[in-house]
Amino acid sequence: MALQAFFDAFQTAFTGFNVWTAIGYAIIFVIARQFVKQHGDQLRKVPRVGMDPGWFSMSKARRNFLAYGPELIEEGYTKFKHSMFRVQTNDMERLIISTSFIPELSRLPEETLSVAAGISVRHLGKYTALDFVDHNTIQVDACRIHLTNDIDHLTPALADELRYGMNIDLPSDGKDWVSVNAFSVLLRLVARSSARVFVGKPLCRDEVWLETSIGFAGEVFLTATDIRPYPNFLRPFVAPFLKSRKRLLKRLDVAAEKIVSVMKSYREGAMDRKDMPAALWMMDVAGKGSKEQTDPKDLALKQLFLSLAALHTTSTHLLQAVYDLCANPEYVQELKKEIKDVLGDDVWGSWNNAKSLKLQKMDSFLKESQRVNHPGMFSFNRVVMKPTTLSDNTKIPPGTLIGVATKCIADDPEFYENPKTFDPWRFYKLAQDASSAEEKGSTAFASTSPTSMVFGHGRRACPGRFFAAHQLKLFLVGLLTEYEFKFPKKMDRPKNLAYGEHIVPDRAQEIAFRKI
Ligand code: HEM
């Protein structure tokens, strides 16, 4: 009866309704929505660089940004570096704000200005499973607390896995130079040692796990790229048919199957929490009956997210640092001398966080390499969740995605003397000249400030940055003390590739290694 009534009501409502009427309504709807969007737009007075997508040119504006992003952002920064500008990027429109607003913005709580929503919205979290970050922070705590405070407990495992990986992925005898694709080898080394402290042994040596943790980031990126051109209302219908999303879900299933063994080991073995791989730490902290302890998919997703946040970022920095050393071999001796002074001859046995912090020239070299080879045009990506008024009285409505043009800041002579010059000891010298401990601290690789935001800034700055600094130094020490390395032939440093908001190193370059 109820069903019949429903069909009757449906027929009555749509009598005389044909396809032309439907198209007419759809056009009116789109125009009305665009009109409301443009005229209700509280930010319309903020200047724009690049194409205005207007009513019908969103794909063209996105393509335009992909082609000319770096130039557009530089143009916006040059004209509006003390205020703000808007730009249509290849994902969303961004409000790029001056770094002078950072102190006031970084004080705002996550409920007002959200890093998690920024991650979710930019990666289309609803379709890539990353929307879990909106309501979960235990993976952030695992980095902020465990991987940072317990680093000395984790270092032996980290170092052991690095040596194990070097023996497999790099030449093992000192006779010949062997050329390898630097990007893929360093990425694997980082993935191996990270997996050792994320999920522990034996899973960290499982090829399928390694491949899954490395490949997850690419599937997220491709899925988001494939879905983005579709309007919101079509996405739920399109998503199930996308190959990229099917591959992403498959990787999640594989990771969930694999992580069952880790969950089992937690139930079977007693271990001090400080020594636990991050997955076990999360299970332990979350407690009995929690999703982390009962649902392999939940734990697997968190681990894959950590891999996404950690692997390509850290290995890209390592690759850039290796290119800088090959292009400037004169820095190698200085760094080796520091390693010897701080660690003596027993490099592996004496390594700990206190000694890692004493490698100040290496710290400076890494920070300069990062400044010059900035990993992207923007940082401090956040979504405004509640109406926010800046000190210049600009009102930013909820839903706005903000960012800062950090690459332009890193190249700006107002903030860095001779910014075009690669000075490996720039931050070392600043630390020596510092007049307070706070000023000295601000020169460290893992520190952040309104003019140094590769790791973001404020209360939700990258929680893995101290771990990343420690790991990068460990890797450089390992490479410098166990190998010689150089470009296979005489050449200039490979140029970085900049497109849209991305800046990536040349991933095809080979590096020749010889065991010392
Ligand atoms: C050199 C390497 C790295 C770079 C350049 C980097 C950069 C960043 C940036 C820019 C953010 C956003 C912060 C903000 O907007 O204020 C972030 C977030 C994050 N990073 Fe890193 N990161 C690196 C390494 C790592 C590592 C090794 C881990 C884990 C061990 C990690 C875990 C995370 C997590 C979990 C978040 C999300 C934080 C949140 O939701 O609040 N990162 N990272």
CB 277 less than 6 A from any atom of ligand 1: no
Pairing, β 48-49 against β 84-88 = parallel
Q: Which atom of ligand 1 is nearest to the CA of 317?
A: 1
For ligand 1, is residue 115 a contact (CB within 6 Å)?
A: yes
Residue nearest to atom 29 of ligand 1 (CA): 464
Q: Which of 110, 131, 366, 462 to mutate to test the pocket of ligand 1 (most atoms within 8 A of CB)?
A: 462
* Two structure tokens written together for 293: 């302890």
Distance 139 CA to ligand 1 centre (A): 11
Q: Is residue 378 in contact with ligand 1, taking CB distance under 6 Å?
A: no
Please report the DSSP string for 320-379 in residue order.
Answer: HHHHHHHH-THHHHHHHHHHHHHH-S-TTTT--HHHHHH-HHHHHHHHHHHHHT-SBS-E
**Does the ipTM exceed 0.90?**
yes
Sign, CA dihedral 14-19-23-28, equals negative
Per-residue pLDDT tens digits for 428-482: 999 999 999 888 889 999 999 999 999 999 989 999 999 999 999 999 999 999 9
Give the closest residue to 463 by CA, choosing from 455, 453, 471. 455
Q: What is the pLDDT of residue 441?
A: 87
Question: Which amino acid would we find at residue 448?
Answer: T
User: What's the token pair of residue 73?
Assistant: 């952002």
What are the tens digits of pLDDT across the range 305-327?
A: 999 999 999 999 999 999 999 99
How far is Cα 183 from Cα 45, in angstroms, rounded to an integer? 44
Q: How far is 286 from 272, CA to CA, in rounded Å?
A: 15
Verify whether ligand 1 is closer than 6 Å to residue 308 (CB atom).
no
- 96 CA to middle of ligand 1, Å? 20
Atom index in ligand 1 nearest the CA of residue 472 equals 1
Do the Cβ atoms of 70 and 377 come closer than 8 Å? yes
437, exposed or middle or buried, with CB in 10 Å at 0-12, 13-18, 19+?
Answer: exposed
Measuring CA to CA, how many Å separate 160 from each of 200, 307, 342, 348, 478? 12, 19, 20, 9, 11
Which tens digit of pLDDT belongs to each residue from 118-170?
A: 999 999 999 999 999 999 999 999 999 999 999 999 999 999 999 999 999 99
Mean pLDDT score of the chain: 92
Q: Which of 137, 140, 148 is nearest to 471 (CA)?
A: 148
Pairing mode of beta strands 401-404, 379-384: antiparallel
Distance from the alpha carbon of residue 76 to the mean position of ligand 1, in angstroms? 26
pLDDT for the residue 37: 60
Task: Check if the beta carbon of residue 373 is closer than 8 Å to that of residue 46.
Answer: no
Is 283 within 8 Å of 266 (Cβ atoms)? Answer: yes
Q: Which of 455, 460, 504 to mutate to test the pocket of ligand 1 (most atoms within 8 A of CB)?
A: 455
Segment 217-234 mean pLDDT: 94
pLDDT at 105 over 70: yes
Query: Is any atom of ligand 1 closer than 6 Å to the C-beta of 130?
Result: no
Index of the ligand 1 atom closest to the CA of residue 380: 15
Can you tell me whether residue 464 is helix, strand or coil?
A: coil
Q: Please tell me the distance from the alpha carbon of residue 263 to that of residue 260, in angstroms, as a whole number.
A: 5
User: How far apart (Å, rounded) are the C-alpha atoms in residues 199 and 216?
Assistant: 16
Nearest CA to ligand 1 atom 21: 462
CB 100 within 8 A of CB 369: no
On the CB side of 290, CA atoms within 13 Å amount to 16
Q: Which atom of ligand 1 is nearest to the CA of 453?
A: 10
Counting from 1 in the atom list of ligand 1, the atom nearest the Cα of 198 is: 30
Record the tokens describing residue 421, joined without a space: 């010059």
pLDDT value of residue 14: 45
Q: How far apart, in Å, are the Cα atoms of 156 and each of 215, 240, 289, 361, 429?
A: 27, 44, 32, 23, 31
- Domain boundaries of the chain, sorted by first residue: 123-375+417-450+454-515
In this predicted model, what pLDDT tens digit does every residue of 365-387 receive, in sequence order? 999 999 999 999 999 999 999 99
Confidence (pLDDT) at 30: 65
Which are the contacts of 267, defined by CB distance < 8 A and separation ≥ 6?
none
The length of the chain in residues reads: 516
Separation of alpha carbons 157 and 194, rounded Å: 10
pLDDT of residue 39: 52
Half-sphere exposure of 74 (CA within 13 A, CB side): 10
Any atom of ligand 1 within 6 Å of the Cβ of 353: no
**In CATH, what number does 123-375+417-450+454-515 get?**
1.10.630.10
| Per-residue pLDDT band at 286 (split at 50, 70, 90) | very high
C-beta of residue 472 within 8 angstroms of C-beta of residue 318: yes
The answer for 515, left when phi > 0, alpha when psi is -120 to 50, beta otherwise, is beta
139 lines ligand 1 (CB under 6 A): yes
pLDDT tens digits for 10-47? 444 444 457 777 777 777 766 666 655 655 567 888 99
Contact 140 CB / ligand 1 (< 6 Å): yes
| Residue 230, burial from CB neighbour count under 10 angstroms (0-12, 13-18, 19+) | middle
Residues 6+ positions from 439 with CB-CB distance below 8 Å: none
Mean pLDDT of 174-203: 95
